[in-house]
Amino acid sequence: MLLSVEHLTKHQNIKPIVKDVSFAIEDHDKIALIGVNGTGKTTLLRIIAGLETYEEGNMIRKNNLRISYLPQDPVFDEEDTILHQILCMDKDIKEFEAKAILGKLGIYDTARIVKHLSGGQRKRVALARALLQPCDLLLLDEPTNHLDNDMIEWLEKYLLRYSHAIFMVTHDRYFLERICDKMMEINQANIYTYEANYSQYLELKAQREEIAQANERKRQNILRTELAWMRAGVQARGTKSKERIERFHKLNAIEKPNEQENIKLDAISSRLGKKIIECENLSKAYGEHLLFHDFSYHLQRNDRIGILGANGCGKTTLLKILAKVLAPDSGEVVHGDTVRIGFFKQGHEEMDMSMRVLDYIQESSNAITTMEGTYTASQMLERFLFDAKAQYMPIGRLSGGERRRLYLLKVLMQAPNILFLDEPTNDLDIQTLQILEDYLDTFNGALITVSHDRYFLDRICDKLFVFNSDKTIQQFLGGYSALMELGEKNTAVDKNEKAVKPKVSPRLSSKEKQELEMMDEHMEKLQKQIEAIDEQMEMDTQDFVKLQSLSEQREALETKMEELMERWEYLSEKQQAIEDLKKGKSR
């Protein structure tokens, strides 16, 4: 056992985060912590990391327990380089290893100063730092935020092979399904633990709630009987059993179970005419960096389109051009007269932190007409998980995820007939995502979304715009999984990995041992060759023929480095599996 928590209680101001909860983390657990935004998932992660205190309870850690933590908002030495921020953590981290993982996460200029990084780049550097730090327990807070689909696929495979314990907060439901073997749900300051992946958790949770509701009905029946007995009359009070009175008060003091009502946000939209959005031959570049060219499309009334591509390829730029927020370099965008766009932007709009939640929504509308009738702003907030108390709180007291949920509701309250959603799933809890997905099912208008949430894309989209390396945008009919099945080589790769993965009794052959011993030396040589080519390219900036040749040499070396790195990961994990097996037998 790595860590045992007993009777833990923690408050944030007067709000209880956890109340008298107990749980344990074992050596090879892969645990997901889930719950609605604002329930305290990040706070609990920070408590486990030793960065937050608690009022009551005990936390027993294994001797010399090593923890690596990926926070939502990472902290760096702003004047240091990316590479040094990672290498300074532990002397055993190899430079080529750091550069390889940073490259997988889209960070190639490792000599760059941290203060010049964007928020997304900082999160990816922090993720690389967390993965590389030697540890027994890896804590991850929303690890897939700011990753494109290729990076998420790579991270998923990396964590599947990871041999130590993982405790993560994530809304990525494919991650939960494929990686985690235990779910911990935080709800009303309680923690419910399920030995299950995501789909099994949903079934077990439904069973638990059904039992809780049955017990509550039974309690209410007993209370009605006992209350009638208690009211039998003042003159009979002295003859009543003292124990029975005490039993009544104890029964009455039990909290009702939280009823997870099926919250439905009905489709709200204004009338949409025949002509919607038409774009012809769109092109856009920043300086000499071309994003895309010659893109044309006529948006249809019920389109459900997802935009896919690597970070920085121009997905958000395309959305802004279609919304006429940004002008293309060439081509034209025409909007129909009735078009009313709701644009949910990636980093939500500037909010007045002193403004009350209710006032913020009332800026858009005091009431909205839905399929079921007219609802006030307050009623819509309740449907979007903001109770009466939360509505009168200042926005500054909300968590980051709760602000995203509030901003999403504000966009929907404007009754748009076209929705542009830029990374709508970042920092939203699963329950809010389900509300949004149910809403989009009945939304009477067109939708275009940029998202790296594979589950969300499969659930909502039936058409994709895919950014290609030749700067064209391909139109694909189908969802994310259909695209992967069509052109993905991962299926064959996965089968190979399963075939060679050590099972009951892993062994390293003498040849593999020798190969692993020499691997560091080989990769260091390759790294030096790449650095030598980089220096040569800097010296020959005007000789384009030589630059082309050097660039091809560098690309070949990088491919070789990547192959070596994958082989090193496999052999290292095999060796770790052998060591873990030996430890298990020695116990």
User: Do 531 and 432 have their domain in common?
Assistant: no
Residue 216 within any structural domain of the chain: no
Residue 559 within any structural domain of the chain: yes
Could you give the CA distance from residue 173 to residue 170 in angstroms, rounded to a whole number? Answer: 8
User: Do 507 and 482 have their domain in common?
Assistant: no
Residue 533 within any structural domain of the chain: yes
User: Do 522 and 458 have their domain in common?
Assistant: no
User: Do 118 and 28 have their domain in common?
Assistant: yes
CA-closest candidate to residue 166, choices 150, 178, 152: 178
User: Do 43 and 112 have their domain in common?
Assistant: yes
Could you give the CA distance from residue 518 to residue 568 in angstroms, rounded to a whole number? Answer: 10
Domain span at 340:
277-490
Q: For the chain, how many helices (H) and strands (E)?
A: 19, 20
CA dist 253 → 219, 382, 536 (Å): 11, 26, 77
CA-closest candidate to residue 166, choices 132, 127, 139: 139
Domain stops at, among 490, 514, 543: 490
What residue has token string 């790769």? 493
Domain stops at, among 146, 174, 201: 201
User: Do 127 and 182 have their domain in common?
Assistant: yes
User: Do 484 and 342 have their domain in common?
Assistant: yes
User: Which residues lie below 8 Å from residue 29, measured CB to CB, with a gap of 6+?
Assistant: 2, 165, 166, 167, 181, 182
Number of domains, the chain = 3
Residue 357: both structure tokens together: 């939640």
Q: Dihedral of CA 134/137/143/144: which sign?
A: positive
User: Do 431 and 517 have their domain in common?
Assistant: no
Asked if residue 534 lies in contact with residue 482, where contact means CB atoms within 8 angstroms, the answer is no
Look up residue 276 and give its amino acid.
Answer: I
User: Do 37 and 100 have their domain in common?
Assistant: yes
CA-closest candidate to residue 44, choices 66, 74, 72, 63: 72
- Model pTM? 0.72
Residue 228 within any structural domain of the chain: no
Give the CATH number of the domain where residue 88 resides: 3.40.50.300
The pLDDT tens digits along the chain (587 residues) read: 899 999 999 998 778 899 999 999 999 999 999 998 888 999 999 999 999 999 999 999 999 999 999 998 898 999 999 999 999 888 888 888 888 889 889 888 899 999 988 878 898 999 999 999 999 999 999 999 888 888 898 999 899 988 899 999 999 999 899 999 999 999 889 999 999 999 899 888 888 888 877 877 777 777 777 677 666 654 445 555 666 667 666 767 666 666 554 445 555 656 677 889 999 999 999 888 899 999 999 999 889 999 999 888 899 999 999 999 999 999 999 999 899 999 998 866 678 899 999 999 998 888 877 666 788 899 889 888 888 889 999 999 888 888 888 998 898 888 888 999 999 888 788 888 888 888 888 888 899 999 999 999 999 999 999 999 899 999 999 888 888 887 654 444 344 444 444 344 456 777 778 888 888 788 888 888 887 887 887 777 677 677 778 878 877 887 787 778 778 777 777 777 777 666 665 55
User: Do 422 and 291 have their domain in common?
Assistant: yes
